[in-house]
Structure 1
Amino acid sequence: MGGKLTYPRDEIPADKTFIVTGGNTGVGYQTAKGIAKLGGRVIIACRSEERATQALEKMQKEHREEVKQERQTQDEAAKKANPPPAATKDTPKPPATGDKDTTGEGSGDKDTAEASATKDTGDASAEGQTTEAKEENEPIASADKEDSPPPEDDAADDVQPLKVEFMKLDLASLASTMEFINAYKAKGYPLHVLICNAGLGLVPFQKTDDGFELQFQVNYLSHFLMTLHLLPLLRESDPNSRIINLTSIVHTSGTFDLKNMQGELSYDRIKFYGNSKVYQIMNMYALNRRLKDSGISIFSVHPGYVDSEFSRGSADSKLHSFVESVSQVLHIKRNVEDGAMTSLVAALDTSYDGRSALYLKDCKVANASALARNTEKQEQLWDYSLDCIKDHITEDLLKDLHLPVPAAKDDTPTTDEAKGEAETKPETPNKSEEPTSTQDEAKSKSEEEVESKPEEKTESKEEVEESKADEDDKSKVEEVESKPEEDIEAKPEAESESKVDEKEEEKKEESEDQSPTDEGGDTKTDEEEVKSEEVKGDEDKGQEDGEGE
Structure 2
Amino acid sequence: MMNLPESDSEDELPPGWEERVTGDGSVYYANHLTKNTQWTHPRTGKKKVVLGDLPYGWERCIDKSTGKVLYIDHENHRTTYTDPRLAFAVEEKEHINDFRQRFDASSTALHVLHGRDLTNTTALITGANTGIGFETARSLLKHGCKVIFGCRNVRAAEEAIEKIRQEKSTAAENCEALHLDLTSLKSVVTFANVVKVKYKVLNAVILNAGVFGLPYSKTEDGYETTFQVNHLSHFYLTLLLYPLLKTGSRIIVISSESHRFANLTLDTICPSILSPDSPAKYWDMMAYNNSKLCNILFAKQLAKNWQSHGISVFSLHPGNMVSTNLARNWWLYRLLFAVVRPFTKSLQQAASTNVFCATASELNGLSGLYFNNCCRCETSKEAKNDELAKKLWDISVDMVKNAIGPNAFGELTLIEDIF
Q: TM-score, normalised by structure 2?
A: 0.69
Q: Quick one: which amino acid aligns to residue 292 of structure 1?
A: Q
Alpha-carbon separation, structure 1, partners of 2:244 and 2:361: 20
Is the Cα contact below 8 Å between 2:294 and 2:392 reproduced in 1? yes
Q: Quick one: which amino acid aligns to residue 16 of structure 1?
A: T
Is the Cα contact below 8 Å between 1:245 and 1:300 reproduced in 2? yes
Correspondence for 2:359 among 326, 337, 348: 348
The CA deviation string for residues 310-361 of structure 1, in whole angstroms up to 9 with x for no partner, is: 121232xx45644543x24xx4322211110110101111100000111110
- Indicate the residue corresponding to 1:54 in structure 2: 159
Alpha-carbon separation, structure 2, partners of 1:172 and 1:9: 36
Correspondence for 2:237 among 215, 221, 226: 226
Alpha-carbon separation, structure 1, partners of 2:118 and 2:353: 21
Alpha-carbon separation, structure 1, partners of 2:104 and 2:411: 47
**CA RMSD, aligned part only?**
1.8
State how 1:235-254 maps to structure 2 within 5 Å.
Answer: 235=246, 239-254=247-262
Distance 1:320 1:375, change over 3 A: farther
SS in 1 for 2:383: coil
| 1:203 CA displacement | 0.7
How many residue pairs match? The answer is 302
State how 1:34-53 maps to structure 2 within 5 Å.
Answer: 34-53=139-158
Is the Cα contact below 8 Å between 2:185 and 2:233 reproduced in 1? yes
Is the Cα contact below 8 Å between 2:153 and 2:179 reproduced in 1? yes
Q: Quick one: which amino acid aligns to residue 360 of structure 1?
A: F
Alpha-carbon separation, structure 2, partners of 1:354 and 1:195: 18
SS in 2 for 1:398: helix
Is the Cα contact below 8 Å between 1:24 and 1:52 reproduced in 2? yes
Correspondence for 2:343 among 332, 336, 341: 332
Runs of 4+ in structure 1 deviating by more than 4 angstroms, as ranges, are: 159-162
Is the Cα contact below 8 Å between 2:307 and 2:367 reproduced in 1? no
Q: Which of the two has higher C-alpha Rg?
A: 1
Alpha-carbon separation, structure 2, partners of 1:187 and 1:379: 33
Alpha-carbon separation, structure 2, partners of 1:353 and 1:385: 29
Q: Quick one: which amino acid aligns to residue 303 of structure 1?
A: P
| 1:304 CA displacement | 0.3
Is the Cα contact below 8 Å between 2:141 and 2:171 reproduced in 1? no
Is the Cα contact below 8 Å between 1:201 and 1:314 reproduced in 2? no
Distance 1:29 1:2, change over 3 A: closer
Is the Cα contact below 8 Å between 2:104 and 2:373 reproduced in 1? no
Alpha-carbon separation, structure 1, partners of 2:409 and 2:333: 42
Q: Quick one: which amino acid aligns to residue 106 of structure 2?
A: K
Distance 1:160 1:247, change over 3 A: closer
Q: Quick one: which amino acid aligns to residue 188 of structure 1?
A: Y
Question: In the alignment, does 2:232 pair up with 1:217?
Answer: no
- Indicate the residue corresponding to 1:286 in structure 2: 301
State how 1:27-426 maps to structure 2 within 5 Å.
Answer: 27-63=132-168, 161-235=172-246, 239-256=247-264, 257-258=269-270, 259-264=272-277, 266-305=281-320, 306-315=322-331, 318=332, 321-322=335-336, 324-325=338-339, 327-328=340-341, 331-390=342-401, 391=405, 393-394=408-409, 396-400=411-415, 402-404=417-419
Distance 1:163 1:271, change over 3 A: same
Distance 1:169 1:205, change over 3 A: same
Is the Cα contact below 8 Å between 2:314 and 2:367 reproduced in 1? yes
SS in 2 for 1:180: helix
SS in 1 for 2:241: helix
Is the Cα contact below 8 Å between 2:180 and 2:188 reproduced in 1? yes
| 1:45 CA displacement | 0.8
Alpha-carbon separation, structure 2, partners of 1:319 and 1:307: 11
The CA deviation string for residues 434-464 of structure 1, in whole angstroms up to 9 with x for no partner, is: xxxxxxxxxxxxxxxxxxxxxxxxxxxxxxx
| 1:13 CA displacement | 4.3
Is the Cα contact below 8 Å between 1:17 and 1:189 reproduced in 2? no
Q: Quick one: which amino acid aligns to residue 262 of structure 1?
A: S
Alpha-carbon separation, structure 1, partners of 2:253 and 2:114: 21
The CA deviation string for residues 113-141 of structure 1, in whole angstroms up to 9 with x for no partner, is: xxxxxxxxxxxxxxxxxxxxxxxxxxxxx
The CA deviation string for residues 125-174 of structure 1, in whole angstroms up to 9 with x for no partner, is: xxxxxxxxxxxxxxxxxxxxxxxxxxxxxxxxxx6755111111001100
Distance 1:337 1:350, change over 3 A: same
Q: Quick one: which amino acid aligns to residue 241 of structure 1?
A: S
- Indicate the residue corresponding to 1:112 in structure 2: none
Is the Cα contact below 8 Å between 1:243 and 1:298 reproduced in 2? yes
Is the Cα contact below 8 Å between 2:121 and 2:202 reproduced in 1? yes
| 1:3 CA displacement | 5.9
The CA deviation string for residues 377-424 of structure 1, in whole angstroms up to 9 with x for no partner, is: 1111111000011226246312236335xxxxxxxxxxxxxxxxxxxx
Q: Quick one: which amino acid aligns to residue 243 of structure 1?
A: I
| 1:190 CA displacement | 1.4
Is the Cα contact below 8 Å between 1:203 and 1:269 reproduced in 2? yes
Which protein is richer in strand relative to its size? 2
Alpha-carbon separation, structure 2, partners of 1:299 and 1:359: 6
| 1:185 CA displacement | 0.8
Distance 1:166 1:363, change over 3 A: same
Alpha-carbon separation, structure 2, partners of 1:43 and 1:204: 30
Alpha-carbon separation, structure 2, partners of 1:51 and 1:268: 30
- Indicate the residue corresponding to 1:22 in structure 2: 127
Is the Cα contact below 8 Å between 2:137 and 2:147 reproduced in 1? yes
SS in 2 for 1:34: helix
SS in 1 for 2:384: coil
SS in 2 for 1:210: coil
Alpha-carbon separation, structure 1, partners of 2:151 and 2:410: 29
SS in 2 for 1:12: coil
SS in 2 for 1:260: helix
The CA deviation string for residues 363-387 of structure 1, in whole angstroms up to 9 with x for no partner, is: 1111111111111111111110000
The CA deviation string for residues 38-87 of structure 1, in whole angstroms up to 9 with x for no partner, is: 001000110112111111111111335xxxxxxxxxxxxxxxxxxxxxxx
Q: Quick one: which amino acid aligns to residue 28 of structure 1?
A: G
State the percentage of identical aligned residues.
Answer: 32
SS in 1 for 2:343: coil
Distance 1:213 1:38, change over 3 A: same
Alpha-carbon separation, structure 1, partners of 2:105 and 2:234: 32
Alpha-carbon separation, structure 1, partners of 2:346 and 2:182: 25
Distance 1:378 1:324, change over 3 A: same
Alpha-carbon separation, structure 2, partners of 1:204 and 1:170: 18
